[in-house]
Structure 1
Amino acid sequence: MRNLFLRIGSLLGFLAVALGAFAAHGLRPHLSPKSFETFETAVRYQFYHALAILMVAILSHFGKKGALRLAGWAFTAGVALFSGSLYALSTRELHGVSVGWLGPITPLGGLCFLIGWGAVFYSSFFHYDRSVKGSGVD
């Protein structure tokens, strides 16, 4: 689980930086200010939750893994639903595909984010072992 969430978090972080740069340098002239702002919101929430997934990977070294596994998957689903739908909605004037049906999907991504943060909070009530076997930390 740790390596999986380390990979997912780092990949989503990489993509957030790449998409943010692409938006700033390539998309801005082609999108309305409102659509550009929506795209930036998608990038920002993707980056926040890429960091949250990395946090889950790190915390899973120290404690109860069930709630953290839920958090990692909820954050991942949240990025797909929330940021993914905002990316599609904000660029619809470019790709010309009717994606208005994605509007109701965005809040489901937000709900996934809330579930993820709630699961991290829940995991805090369990003992975290401060030492990791083989780490040399006592």
Structure 2
Amino acid sequence: MLLAVGFLLAGLGVVAGAFGAHSLEGRLSADRLAIFDTAARYHMLHAVGLVLLGLAAARWPDAAWKCPWLLMLCGIAVFSGTLYALSLSDIGWLGAITPIGGAALIAAWVWAGWIAFTRT
């Protein structure tokens, strides 16, 4: 399940990147296009992170891998989701929520590192 969701989100990351590059160029300002690009880049990078966490969980079975995996999943949704919405709308307050997603992504990587350090 962990791998399947990671692969699915990676595919959606490619779709988002292609949409931004081919459908939004010329329709959004350079600043908003850069925000969308950041969202797509972090979305894709962390989808690969989900796959890596799924592989780690398969290689070293331990329920502890689910916590960083869930943090990364939520981080993608909040960080990239708010940036996607911010770039496509005038809802400026979304920018205040984005760092919560970033903090979840950081926590996921740190937690995964701790698990790897202490259990592998």
- Bigger-Rg structure (1/2): 1
- Structure 1 residue 64: Cα displacement: 5.0
Kindly indicate whether residue 73 of structure 2 is the aligned counterpart of residue 84 of structure 1.
Answer: no
Give the aligned CA root-mean-square deviation in angstroms. Answer: 1.3
For 1:105, the equivalent position in structure 2 comes to: 97
**Distance in 2 (alpha carbons) for counterparts of 1:33 and 1:16:** 20
- Tell me how many residue pairs correspond in the alignment: 120
Q: Does residue 4 of structure 2 align to residue 7 of structure 1? A: yes
Q: Does the 8 Å contact 1:67/1:122 carry over to 2? A: no
User: Residue 107 of structure 2: which of 115, 130, 133 is its match?
Assistant: 115
Instruction: Compute the TM-score of the two structures, normalised by the length of structure 2.
Output: 0.94
Q: Which runs of 4+ in 1 moved over 4 A?
A: none
- Greater share of helix residues, 1 or 2? 2
SS at match of 2:117: coil
CA distance in 2, matches of 1:53, 1:6: 7
Residue 28 of structure 2 corresponds to residue 31 of structure 1: yes
The answer on whether the counterparts of 1:64 and 1:126 sit within 8 Å (CA) in structure 2 is: no
For residues 12-35 of structure 1, the C-alpha deviation after alignment (integer angstroms, 9 at most, x for no partner) is 100110111111111111000000
Distance 2:63 2:95 in 1: 31
CA distance in 2, matches of 1:34, 1:55: 32
Unaligned runs of 5+ in 1: 93-97, 129-138
Cα distance in 1 for residues equivalent to 2:94 and 2:63: 31
